[in-house]
Amino acid sequence: MLGFGAFLLCSGLCLQQMIPAQPGLLPKPSLQALPGSLVPLKTQVTIRCQGPPGADLYRLEKLRSGIYQDQPVLFIPAMEERFAGCYRCSYQNGSRWSPPSDRLELVATGVYANKPSLSAQPSPAVSPGTEVTLQCRSQYSFDQFALYKEGAAAPQKGSEKQYWADFPITAVTVAHSGTYRCYSFSSKLPYLWSAPSDPLELVVTGERAADQARPFLPTRIPRLLPPRTGRRDLEKGTELKFEKQGGNWQHYTKGNLVRICIGVVILILLVGLLAEDWHSRKKPLPHRVRPIRRPLPPLPQTQKPHSQQDGGRPDGPNQGRHQ
């Protein structure tokens, strides 16, 4: 019984490795513009859709235009106003299509020659923890403004008033220091922006800024080693501990869940077989037939000696007869 259960367990584990992941939702691809999504007119840009290896077909489309191509890469040698817009992509594996990627807003800059101005109130040099407001102002009645920091993933948009927009920073940190530019545009043409403003350098000053500006150093944590360990072994036993922030590393596929379920079912079967074997060992032994004890035959009786009254004659049928 135990050998049979072990055979089932081994067979199930082998089957678990052989069964492929069950079909489910395909991961969505990523879409990016290189070198960036803010593209000055007459400069080149590449839009790239990235999916898993082995994808059969890609579909890259420009929304609200009906224009698409079945290729993962769109190379634009010279940016024009007609290329500006919102893009997305997906891919096909077999007969299944993946979910669409996140939208990519490709913006043409320099469409309007008059650039806005950018200023910092009260000053571009601020202390940590204080408040500063970056104000973007235009000579024309644009109702949309965008503030962009060099190295940021996307610009920050604002539409407070016509002619200008305020971008407040309530608590300044060293992370806010850097080079900023702003753009102006119309809400009717959201992907056609003006030329960028002159750069504004935001400087964070003070002792607290110097403390925050120190680079992050990994912490050395020595391992616990047994006694009589030399210094050289202790140096080998140290390890670097890095803190990773903001990452999403929990990616559970449907195939992994299927494998876990198969393992649980096999484990339940094995426990059931063990319980059945244990229960069978506790059953009482079959009833044994007891032998029938028959009474023994009576022992033969011994004859008593004759007394003198009888004359020493044995009893017999002629005892009462006289000669």
* Domain 113-212 part of CATH 3.50.50.60: no
Determine the Cα–Cα distance for residues 193 and 182; give it in Å rounded to an integer. 10
The neighbouring-strand residues paired with 241 are: 219
Which is higher by pLDDT, 118 or 161? 118
pLDDT tens digits along 286-301:
555 555 565 666 666 6
Closest CA to 185 of 159, 207, 209, 204: 159
Tokens standing for residue 314: 């044995």
- Please state the domain extents for the chain: 26-109, 113-212
Characterise 242 by phi-psi region: left (phi > 0), alpha (psi -120 to 50), beta (else). Answer: beta
Residues 6+ apart with CB under 8 A from 162: 141, 142, 143
Residue 212 has pLDDT above 80, yes or no: no
**154, exposed or middle or buried, with CB in 10 Å at 0-12, 13-18, 19+?**
exposed
Determine the Cα–Cα distance for residues 16 and 263; give it in Å rounded to an integer. 8
Please give the mean pLDDT across all residues of the chain. Answer: 77
Phi, psi at 212, each rounded to 5°: -75, -20
Domain 26-109 and domain 113-212 have a common topology: yes
Q: What is the mean pLDDT of residues 123-145?
A: 92
Determine the Cα–Cα distance for residues 283 and 7; give it in Å rounded to an integer. 25
pLDDT tens digits along 4-36:
554 455 555 554 554 444 456 899 999 999 999
Residue 159 has pLDDT above 80, yes or no: no
CATH number of 26-109: 2.60.40.10
